[in-house]
Structure 1
Amino acid sequence: AVLRGLTNDEMWVALGTGAVIGLLLGVPLTIATASIAVAPTSMIAGMAVVLFAGGTLLRRAKRARPETWLYRKLEWVLANRWRLGRGSLILHSGAWTVRRSRRLRP
């Protein structure tokens, strides 16, 4: 299933992130307004904002790229910047050659 350009896994990550952001913003508002209903309302609002905004941004970023582009890009960023998972990813830049010689046929 695809919603706003997000795959299933991406959608669940966006919804979880939106719920956490909404909860973090909603707890102080709940204390300030003395109404317990503000916390779940802000969670739902946060999920909606992150789902729609994240879907739009990811749809633009993933346009005309393969399905696994986002996951490979995240893996590359983690390996380059944070030094995580370097063993499974080839990090080499330079000229690429095949090193084949042309075989003459008799």
Structure 2
Amino acid sequence: MVDDQSLNDGTLKFLPTNLNRQPVIMGGLTADEMWGTVFLSGAVGLVLGIPVAILSGNWALIIAGALTGGVLGLTVASRILRKMKRNRPDTWFYRQVQLYIAQYAPLWGDSGLITRSGAWTCRRTE
């Protein structure tokens, strides 16, 4: 039986585009984006939890601040990143991070991006 998606020899007529794409795990984020968000917002919560723990005298608030920061950061960042990534290619977010590092933090390594700003011309020089 041959359906309209395959040829007589059993091969497919189309090229599946979703095979190499990372799956969306939570809130529109892929696994890499989710873990990066959790660790970054957890670190911010940890740093903010230290003064609260010193002022209250309860050292468990440091860990509670990290956990709360991770949860709140994941909730907020998933909404923001989902809106930013809408109708854009899969690698858009990673290229934006790469461009930011190339422009503002060149000491982190060579990004391989061309960051020239200015007018481009298409004329011959003689």
User: Is 2:110 the partner of 1:85?
Assistant: yes
Letter in 2 for 1:52: T
State the Cα RMSD in Å.
2.0
Structure 1 length-normalised TM: 0.76
Q: Using a 3 Å threshold, how does the CA distance of structure 1 residues 6 and 95 change in structure 2: closer, same or farther?
A: farther
Percent identity of paired positions between Structure 1 and Structure 2 = 32
Question: 32, 41, 58: which one pairs with 2:55?
Answer: 32
Question: 48, 68, 76: which one pairs with 1:53?
Answer: 76
Q: Which whole-Å CA distance do the structure 2 matches of 1:24 and 1:95 have between them?
A: 50
Letter in 1 for 2:113: L
User: Where is the helix percentage greater, Structure 1 or Structure 2?
Assistant: 1
Superposition misfits of 4+ residues, deviation over 4 angstroms = none
Structure 2: unaligned runs, 5 residues or longer: 1-23
* DSSP-derived class of the 1:2 partner: strand
Structure 2 length-normalised TM: 0.66
Structure 2 counterpart of 1:100 = none
Counting matched residue pairs gives: 95
Structure 1: unaligned runs, 5 residues or longer: 97-106
